[in-house]
Structure 1
Amino acid sequence: MKPHRHSLYRTFANAAAGVVHAFKTERNMKIHAAAALMVFIAAALLQLDLIRWLFLLLAVGLVFTAELINTAIEAVVDLVSPQVHPYARIAKDTAAGAVLVAAIVAVGIGIGVFYEPIRGWIGSLL
């Protein structure tokens, strides 16, 4: 028997509920959101061009996606292995490592995006 298929609206509503849940319950998601807000404010103040904005959006999306996947993996691991188990720890640590890698890549993108505009801004002050 095929599983029941939800409407397209319900599918998007469920996905949005997952994102909202992560923002409400995951401290690191709040930290990522605060960092993203500061990055977007800086980008607006520096009047970055479209390509730079797209790189920033990609970097932020990468980190948010990694954090959402990490949250999902942690929830499933907690469900199937409520007791401490070495494989559960490996799964959780590896998922967290994916977020760390995404965040490091995002910082590198941020440096590449902001280097010249900030250098130019500082130069205009001197």
Structure 2
Amino acid sequence: MIVRQLQEAEKTTRRVVSPDGNWESTRMLLKDDNMGFSFHITTIYAGADFQMHYQNHLESVYCISGEGEVETRVDHKKHPITPGTLYILDQHDQHTLRAFTEMKMACVFNPPLNGKEVHNAEGAYELS
């Protein structure tokens, strides 16, 4: 059994802050935990507006708190994000995330991340 406390994990190298200043993520479950996925608690800072394209990963995102929107870049559909919203990037969707207020999100990635990944120039995480 694995048991971790968010407050403790935030004090370790499991907490990663994006170089562009848009988010921070505490990676609660990672590849070396051998579960087949990774689980993160991510804070998107208020005012963040950035593009992502997870070419190597599938992701599901559950909004715990805050408000924003996600826009699919192929068809420019905007979807509001409020507490209780789940969005799933099941097609490696190119998308833009906007945070109107600070947003707290629970994120699951498959395949799992190793822990130190940040977005590359295309808005993706590299496979490692």
Q: What interval of TM-score do these two structures reach, taking the shorter chain for normalisation? A: under 0.3
When you count strand as a share of all residues, which structure comes out higher? 2
Q: State the structure with bigger RCO (CA 8 A, min sep 6), 1 or 2.
A: 2
Bigger Rg over Cα: 1
Task: Name the TM-score, length of structure 2 as normaliser.
Answer: 0.21
